Structure 1
Amino acid sequence: MKIALFGYGKMGKMIERTALGRGHVISTKVDIGTTNIDFSDMDVAIDFSTPDAALGNISSCLEHGIPIISGTTGWLKDYDKVVDLCHKKNGAFIYASNFSLGVNIFFELNAYLGKMMRNVNEYKITLEETHHTQKLDAPSGTAITLAQGIIENTDYLDWKLNGNGEKTIPITSKRIDAVPGTHTVSYHSEVDSIEIQHTAHNREGFALGAVIAAEWILGKKGIFSMKDVLNLG
């Protein structure tokens, strides 16, 4: 499989190593300053670029009939535009705030816990995420996905970074050198606390999940998620 990498930073290089190890070819590397892109020399694209570049990268691939996987966060105000373009071009697209296989299982666990706690009003929910200092956005896309999973299954209405409110999930973001990513969802009451946590030991899990998603999407048409890739229902 010929893979194009949009974004050739730390994640792009790790995806390259993972893809090569699984027998694929990196046919194209697109980074800041790249002008000429040969869309005929790629089977699938993986985008881990920047919030400013993501929409253009994804749109260009869909325009040229290239299925694309995106793990870039911070651009989702334009997500509906991508959905419309994908349908218009009969293309294939996967966005995930986190491609780690473990994190996507954690998403399902988080939603299930939310359903269990829906009518237990004694608990207040908080969410904390910690990442390396080079992460550009806060809160993380993963934290937002976790918050949305809670909102969909409880009577909470929204989330807010460093905020509070009766029906608002407060998210705390910390930036510490060399932390790949830790997410903690906590339910606190006066008598006890319940916590679920996912801790990434390195970024290799993110890269592996992205390559697996790229392998999975070949030959498919539509908008998908990691739930589809992992058959999580």
Structure 2
Amino acid sequence: MTDGLEADVEGADEIARQRDELAARVRTHAGRIARELAVLQGGDYGQKTFTTDAGSWTLKYEAGDVQYLRYEPQSGSEIYAVSSKQPPEPDALERAMTDYDAFVAAFNEYVRSFADLFADVPDEFPEVESTAELAAKRDRTLERIREVCTAMAGQLHRYDGDYGTYATTIDGTRWELKWDGDAVSYLRVGGEDGIYLLSQYGPPPAPEVRRLVEDVPAFVTAFNDHVRDLEADLETVDFEAN
């Protein structure tokens, strides 16, 4: 009579090896499905569930590779045929594989369902109108505005310092010219959230230029009045040197 400590223990290495080989083949095959699914759905990641007579399969993918392939039979616990964590139990993988062909068939049917998706889509489209002429007119208008504002900047630089801002109100809207030396830093209409007619960045939309350009003469007139007022004030200054 023995105490059981001398009994042979069955090795699991061969079963684990077979399980790992099968799991690797499933990952490779499911990876092909993942890449096709990514091409069809667009994007680098996503998931899709496919239903069979025996259950459902959910494939999650990211960057063209399988994150997991989960099988949920109609009865029993879910099985991760492919997982980033650990391989499935051998008997669980075996149960899942009995429905794997049906999963692949469901995926193929899903792809075939899109076969005529673009059958009636036209491959010719209307000509697109060019904005080149409109943009050129806008740019010519802005160039004329910049020329007159540069002249204003030169005058401001001469009598009001190396840099600063001149602001006035035209029809209830604030117009502000900032200068730096003899150059225009910006011409802004409408306060801090307003439109920059002139700036170091790109030009404003053409409709905004058209809307505001008719007020530019009034802005220049207000500036000229401002200069004349300054000249009149200077004329009244009495200075005598001892």
Give the TM-score of the pair, scaled to structure 1. 0.20
Q: TM-score, normalised by structure 2?
A: 0.20
Q: Which has the larger radius of gyration?
A: 2
> Between Structure 1 and Structure 2, which shows a larger proportion of helix residues?
2
